[in-house]
């Protein structure tokens, strides 16, 4: 039986695979408020998808392994939420650089990041750009939820009001991958944001003033008083399963594409 997860391999099993230059998926996630209805650890979703993608890519002819998921994302708006755990940006950059360096030093230099947290994106770019500028490989980052959002909208349309933090696409994906940890009975329609400096909080780090957006250090309870920025009450496990299948197939094809060029 093929072991897709590096954490499940023995050291002897991995050494046998090294001459075949397996591609490695490095999943990144977060531990933060995902809405009152969903488990806070979305890194578990990233890890589950990494395993599915690795198996699908391997079955299609590209030997692919999934590294353990980094459970903590870069700190942004969620520090004020109980249970939220994150890394300072400098710490996140250092951790990610160390993880990639350890993979490369042992010959695992074909790497694709599976990013599961928006706050990670600019820091991932900084780390991977530095690696390339130093003469290292191009390490692409596949933003799971951005891709999933596109795939879900291709199935159900823009669905105004359903897409946003704490709602789609993660709400349906969580029902598919972690139904035991979900509480759809607690899903609520979003409430208006709180105010900051006497102005309404209208988004992540923004307040409104005379029709324009002003950057301001708003925290998540001010951004989403009802624990989500969009409506998750229509989340559906069958939709999540269909989008997961689309996402896995697309990511597996991308793995094959990268492996053929690296």
pLDDT tens per residue, range 187-199? 989 988 899 999 9
- Residue 95: predicted pLDDT: 98
- Residue 55: predicted pLDDT: 98
Tally of CB atoms within 10 A around 129 = 12
Is the whole-model pTM more than 0.75?
yes
| Residue 32 per-residue DSSP state | S
Strand pairing report for 111-115 and 141-143: parallel
pLDDT tens string 120-159: 999 999 999 999 999 999 999 999 999 999 999 999 998 8
d(CA 126, CA 129): 5
Tally of CB atoms within 10 A around 20 = 7
Query: Would you state the structure tokens that stand for residue 73, as one six-digit string?
Result: 């994302």
Query: Would you state the structure tokens that stand for residue 212, as one six-digit string?
Result: 């324009």
Q: Which of 59-68, 110-119, 137-146, 219-228 has the lowest mean pLDDT?
A: 219-228
What are the residues whose beta carbons fall under 8 Å from the beta carbon of 122, sequence distance 6 or more?
Answer: none
Peptide bond into 35 cis (omega under 30): no
Strand pairing report for 206-209 and 212-215: antiparallel
Q: Do the Cβ atoms of 226 and 259 come closer than 8 Å?
A: no
d(CA 219, CA 139): 31
Query: What percentage of the chain carries pLDDT values higher than 70?
Result: 100
d(CA 43, CA 72): 8
pLDDT band at residue 109 using 50, 70 and 90 as cut-offs: very high
CB < 8 Å & 24+ apart, contacts of 50-54 = 50/4, 50/5, 50/25, 50/114, 51/4, 51/5, 52/244, 52/248, 53/25, 53/114, 53/248, 53/251, 53/252, 53/255, 54/4, 54/5, 54/25
Q: Do the Cβ atoms of 113 and 121 come closer than 8 Å?
A: no
Domains identified in the chain and CATH numbers: 6-180+236-261 (3.40.50.10310)
Residue with tokens 């994906």: 173
């Amino acid at each position: 039986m093929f072991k897709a997860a590096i954490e499940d391999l023995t050291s002897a099993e991995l050494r046998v695979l090294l001459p075949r230059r397996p591609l490695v998926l490095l999943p990144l996630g977060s531990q933060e408020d995902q809405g009152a209805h969903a488990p806070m650890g979305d890194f578990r979703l990233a890890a589950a998808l990494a395993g599915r993608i690795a198996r699908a890519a391997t079955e299609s002819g590209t030997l692919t392994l999934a590294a353990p998921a980094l459970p903590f994302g870069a700190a942004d708006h969620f520090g004020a939420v109980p249970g939220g755990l994150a890394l300072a940006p400098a710490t996140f950059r250092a951790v990610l650089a160390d993880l990639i360096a350890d993979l490369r030093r042992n010959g695992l230099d074909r790497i694709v990041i599976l990013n599961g947290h928006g706050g990670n994106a600019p820091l991932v770019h900084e780390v991977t750009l530095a690696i390339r500028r130093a003469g290292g490989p191009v390490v692409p980052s596949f933003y799971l939820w951005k891709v999933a959002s596109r795939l879900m909208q291709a199935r159900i349309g823009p669905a105004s009001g359903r897409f946003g933090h704490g709602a789609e696409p993660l709400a349906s994906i969580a029902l598919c991958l972690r139904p035991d940890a979900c509480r759809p009975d607690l899903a609520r329609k979003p409430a208006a944001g709180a105010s900051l400096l006497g102005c309404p909080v209208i988004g992540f780090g923004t307040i409104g003033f005379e029709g324009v957006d002003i950057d301001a250090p708003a925290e998540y309870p001010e951004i989403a008083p009802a624990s989500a920025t969009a409506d998750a009450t229509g989340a559906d496990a069958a939709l999540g399963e269909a989008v997961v299948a689309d996402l896995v197939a697309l990511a597996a094809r991308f793995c094959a594409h990268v492996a053929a060029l690296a």
